[in-house]
Structure 1
Amino acid sequence: MLPSLPVAVRRYRFRDFTLSPQRRLLIRAGSPVPIIPRYFDLLVLLVERRHEAVHKREIFERVWADGFVSDSALTQAIRTLRRTLGDEPREPVFIRTVSRHGYQFVFPDVVEEDEDGPAAIGAAPAGASTSTPGPTVDGPIVERRIDVPIREEQPAGTTLLRAAVAAARGALGGAAAGVAAGAIGGLVLSLAPDSLAPLGLAPVLAVIGAASGALGGAGVGAGLTVGSAWAHRRSALALIPAGAAGGGLVGFLVQWLVTHALGTIVGLELAVGGGVEGLMIGGGAGFGAALATLPSSDGLALPPGGTRVRTAVVVAGCCGLAALALALAGRPLVGGTIHLIADAADGSRASLAPLGRLMGEPDFGLVTSAILGFGEGAAFGFGLALALLRPKQAPIETAAP
C-alpha cells in the first residue's frame, strides 16, 4: 500500500502582504500587521474564496459561528480590513462590496505558496507575540521576539472614561439644543396675540431648556457610548436599550427632584414626568444611532459616505417621533411641563395657552402639545448627535512595491 502524502498547507502573497492561515499572521514587507483574530479569519475566508463573492450568511456562519451579530458588525470588520490593507471602498483594490449579497477579494495577483517554504516571519498566532528571523551565518535561525499589540476588548476603565467624556459632550450638545428651543419658544410666546408673557421670558426659558438638555444629553450620551462599545462587536440594536437606560436614569432622578421641589418649596402637588420620557427619548436616540452610525469601541462613528448633518437629522427625526408619541399619550416634555406648572401657579404669565390659540385651538391642546413635543425632541436629538459623532478616520495610504 502506498504511503499517504502530506497535504500542503498554503500561504498567500499579494502586493507586499503575506497571509499565513497556519501561523495566523498577516505580514507586510517582512513585519507583522496587528489584526483582530476574527477579522483575520474573515480575511482568510475572502482570500481562499477569492474567485467568488462570499455571501454574508456564510461569513456569519464561518467567522461568527458562536454568536449572533448584525450587519453593522460585519461592516465594521470590512472597514477595518480595508483600512489595514490601505483599500478604498469606492475604488476597491482588495475587497469589493457585492450589493445585497456579500463581499469578494478582488486583487488579481495572489500567489499561493507552500507553508513549509521559506517564511517571511516566524510562526505566531494573530494578535499575539511573533518571531522574526534575525541574522544568520551558516547556522540555525536566530529569532527575536516582537510584541504585536491587539486590543479586541476594551478595559472597563477605558469604557467608563469614554462614557464620562461622552456625557460631557452630550451635555454640551443637549444644552445648545435646549437654549435654542427655549429662546425660540419664549420669543414666539411673548409675541403671540393675547399673550401676557414678557420678552424677558425668552432667556428664562432658554436657561431652563439648557439645564434640561444638558442633563438629558449627559445621560443619553453616556448610555450610547457604553452601548457602542458592546454593539460594535455584536448588534447595533444594543444602542436602543443603552440610550433608553441613560435617558431613563436621568429622567427618573430629575422627576423625583422636581416633584419634591415643587411640593416643599412652592406648595404645588403635580404629577411631573421625567422617567418615562427619558426612556422614550433615549431609546429614540439609540434607534437613530443604530440606523445612521457605526458603533465602535471609541463611540459613534460616521458610516462610509455619511455626513454629520445627515446623520444628526436621522437621530433628530427618531427623537422627534418618540417625543410625538409621548405628547399624543398625554406625556409632555419641558414645554408642556412649564405650561402645567404655570396653570397651577397663581399669577404666572408663562402659560402656553396663547400658543394653542395661535395654532387654532381654544387652549394648549393636543395639536399644540404634539407640535411642541416633536420640535423639542428633534432639537435635542440633533444637538446630541452632532456632539457625540466622531469624525471619520482617513484610510491608510500604501504604495505598491
Structure 2
Amino acid sequence: MSSKTKIETQHRIVLSDSRRMNRIKDESIDLVVTSPPYPMIRMWDGLFSSISPDAKKFLDNRDGNGAFEAMHLELDKVWHELYRVLKEGSFACINIGDAVRTIGDRFQLYPNHSRIISSFRAIGFDCLPVILWRKQTNAPNKFMGSGMLPAGAYVTLEHEYILIFRKGAKREFRTDSEKSLRMRSSFFWEERNKWFSDLWDFKGTSQELNKPELRKRSAAYPLELACRLINMYSLYEERVLDPFLGTGTTMLASIACARNSIGFEIDKAFSSLVPEQAVAFSALADELLSARISDHCRFVSAYTESKGPMKYINGPHGFPVVTRQETGIQLYRVRDVVSTDNSLIRVSYEPLGRIDGIPSAKAAIPRSMGGRIRFGSNGRIKA
C-alpha cells in the first residue's frame, strides 16, 4: 500500500454470544480491545444470572465468593476464544475494575483484575505490565465505613485496570511491505512517552451517548482510551475485535484509527446504535485528527524553544520530529462512512499531505484529491 493511496476499512457487528465466536477463523485477529461486564457489580447480576445458574444460586444464597467464581467461569469461555482467534504475537487489552460489595453482613473486595490475569496465564497468554486508569470521583459520599473513627473505614477505589496480554512470542516484521506499513502506522515521540506510562488520566475528555439509558447498561470507556490502545498495538488496516461491543467505542476508535473491526453483542438494543453513531462520526474523527496534529505542533514549538531544532523531518507531512522512526508517519482522514445495514459499516479514507506553517496548528493541509483542508479558529479541520 502506497502512503499516498486511499484506504478502506470494514466494521462488522455480530449479534451473538462471544463465548462461541464461530464467525471468526482461527488466528485472524490482530488486536482485542474490550471491557467485559464486571463480575460482582450489581448492575450485571441479571446478565450473569441469566447465563449461569450457578451464579444465580450463589447470589440467592448470599455466597459472594461462589458467585464471583461462577461469573468468571463464564468470562473464561470468552478468553479461550480470544486465544483461538488472535494471531501469534498479537495483543489483548482488557479494561476491568474490581468490585466492592456487601453480601450478607460481609463487605469485601472482589479482585476481578487478578482473577482475569490468572485465567489468561492459564490459557497460555503472556502477561505484560498493566495500566492504571485513574477515575477520580468527587462524590460527597465516596468514603465508606466509619467516617472519622479508626478501624472501620475502607479505601475508596478510584481506578480501573487495563490488562495487556500477548499471545506467543514477540511479533516480527520481516518483509519490506510489513516494515513500511509499520513505519506509516508509527506514533509521535511525545505520544509514546504519554501512552506507555502506567498511569492514565482522562480528565477533560468527554464522550456523550445520545441514549443515556444504554450507556448505563454498557461498560463504556473513553474513546481516547480505545484509540491509544489501537495505535499502540496494531497497524493500519489490521483487524480489531471487541467481544463485548456495547455502545461501540472500540469500533468507533477503529474507524478513527483506520483499522478494520468486528464486534459481538447479545443485547439487540445496541444493534442500531453503533451504525447510527458511525455514520455521524466523520466530524468527531476530524476533531481527533485535528487535536493530534495540534498537540504535535505545540510540542514542536515547546521543544524547539527549549532544546533547539529537531533533527528529523516527517516525509509525508513535513513537520519536525524527534526520531528517525517518526519520519514515515502517514495520517489519514475519514472521507466517507456508509452503513449498508445494522451489521456492516464501510469507511473510506484519504491520506493527508504536507502541513505548512509548522509549528502553527492552524495550517493548511492539501487534500490528496485536490482542494484544501484548513484549521478553523477553533483548531479543528474544516473543508
User: TM-score per shorter chain, which class?
Assistant: under 0.3
Larger radius of gyration: 1
Q: Which has the higher contact order (CA 8 A, sep 6+)?
A: 2
Please state which structure has a larger fraction of its residues in strand. Answer: 2
Report the TM-score, using the length of structure 2 for normalisation.
0.24
Please state which structure has a larger fraction of its residues in helix. Answer: 1
